[in-house]
Each structure stands twice: as structure tokens, then as C-alpha cells.
Amino acid sequence: FISTTTYRACRCIQPVLFACLKMVKVPESILKKRATQAKIAEGVKADHDAAKQQKKADKAQWIANAQQYEAEYAAAEKEAIANRRAAKENGGFYVPPEPKVALVVRIRGIIGVSPKAKKVMRLFRLLQLHNATFVKLNEATIRMLRLIEPYVTYGYPSLKTVRSLIYKRGFGKVNKQRIPIADNSVISSELSSIGINCCADLVHEIYTCGPNFKAANNFLWPFKLNSPNGGFSSRTKLLHFMEGGEAGARGEEINKLVVKML
């Protein structure tokens, strides 16, 4: 309970208190700090919104690219089937175009390797046992592959094999470091200048041996595969594949070997 006298005294003091509070000034340094913090917060929010919009646009572009590549692969396969049927109807044979890319897997270590073969395998970046790399096929690389046939096996990878290697064992070279391709940002940070921004672009460039194959292949770190299920036979490892061994060219059978080594 407040008496009437006390209530009146408080009512008289209240305007004086408000006037004193209005007279108190905030230091200029605090005002500047508040303005700076507000400006920084606005910039951070603007950057966050812009990054969010860019991420959304990039995702839509990546999906569109993947769908375009899928349609291209399906059309190429459909055309090959139609050509084989037409050739069969005419009593001839359909000869598909020569492969442009080979997958090379090292199956032997360093013992008994000649200096020339060592040099070739170093050029192909096959430095360790069970390393695998993609190689663009031309006259020079075919001769080099024949020099190292006793120490490697190679063949023509399918689209499924290229995808499996990049998605399951793919590592990129970023600032000379081995970085796992866990996100498309790893690819776009290094290859966006040549139009490769996602895994679908990278797979397409490698599989079709596009104009930027060299840059895309150099970005990929050599694949480190496991020993195949069941291992290599010590009796047949040194023999050529055509003689029942493991070394040398094996054509499309390389895809079955990769499945065992993933």
C-alpha cells in the first residue's frame, strides 16, 4: 500500500528522471561499432542468400547436364544396335569405331622391371601395385603399352566402369594434394574454366575422350584398387591374357576385373 503523499512525490519526480535519461549521450565509438556490426551482418546475409541462389542454380544445371548425357549415351547405344541389325540383314558385319580410351592396371611390382618400362609406367602414373589410370589411345601410347605389357593389364572401360571408378575411388588433385571427390565443388574449383563442374561432366569427358581429356585425366589421382577377389594365380600372372594369363590387353574383359578389384 502506497500513501497519497508518496504517490504524488513519485509523479513529480518522474518527468525529471525522463529528462535526465534523455540528456545521457551514447559514446560515439559505440555508435560506430553498432553501425559496423550492422553493416557486416547485412553483408553476411547478402552473401548467404547469393550463395544459396547460386547453389540452387548449379544443382539445376548439373541435373540438366546429367539428363543430356544420359540421352546421348542411350542414342549412341540405340544407333549401334540399329547398325548391327542392318548389317546382319544385308549379310555383312558391323565394325564399331575403335576405342579412344583404355584403362591400364598395374599388376606387378618393381622387381625385374627394365628401366624403359619403369619410365613408361612413370609417364602413365602407375607408381604402385594395383594402380589404375585412363590413357588416351593413339599410335604413341599403343606402342608404350606394348612395352609394358608384362607388368600391366589393360582394356576398354565401359560407361559403368568409368562411373564406378570415379564415384567409388575418385580422388582429385587440388593444390598438389589428394582430395576425395565427395562434392562437386572439388571438381568445379579446379576444372570450371574448361566447362567441367560436376561428376557427370567429368565422366562424360573421360568416357567420350573429349577435347579436355588431358586436363580431366590429370585432375584425377591414379586409382588405388584392391587385390582382385581370389587373387592372381602365381602360375598365370606372368603369362599374356591370350595365353590364359593376366597380363597384356584383355579388351572389354577389363570391366570384369575392375568389379573384382573395387
132 DSSP β-pair partners: 105, 223
Q: Tens of pLDDT along 60-70?
A: 888 998 999 99
Q: Output the pLDDT for position 12.
A: 60
Q: Output the pLDDT for position 15.
A: 63
Helix axes 159-169, 254-261, angle to 10 degrees: 20
Q: Output the pLDDT for position 17.
A: 53
Helix (H, G, I), strand (E, B) or coil at 198: coil
Q: Output the pLDDT for position 34.
A: 87
Q: Check if the beta carbon of residue 71 is closer than 8 Å to that of residue 117.
A: no
* Largest Cα–Cα separation, the chain: 121
Q: CA–CA separation, 127 vs 108, rounded Å?
A: 11
Q: CA–CA separation, 111 vs 262, rounded Å?
A: 25
Q: What is the dihedral of CA 191, 194, 196, 202, to 10 degrees?
A: -90
Around 36, how many Cα atoms within 13 Å sit in the side-chain half-sphere?
Answer: 6
Q: Output the pLDDT for position 13.
A: 60
Q: Output the pLDDT for position 104.
A: 95
User: What is the value of pTM for the model shown?
Assistant: 0.78
Which residue in this structure is represented by grid cell 613408361? Answer: 120
Q: Tens of pLDDT along 195-250?
A: 898 899 999 999 999 899 999 999 999 999 998 888 877 777 778 888 888 888 88
Residue numbers of the chain with a pLDDT score lower than 50: none
Q: Output the pLDDT for position 24.
A: 60
Grid coordinates representing 64 are: 540438366
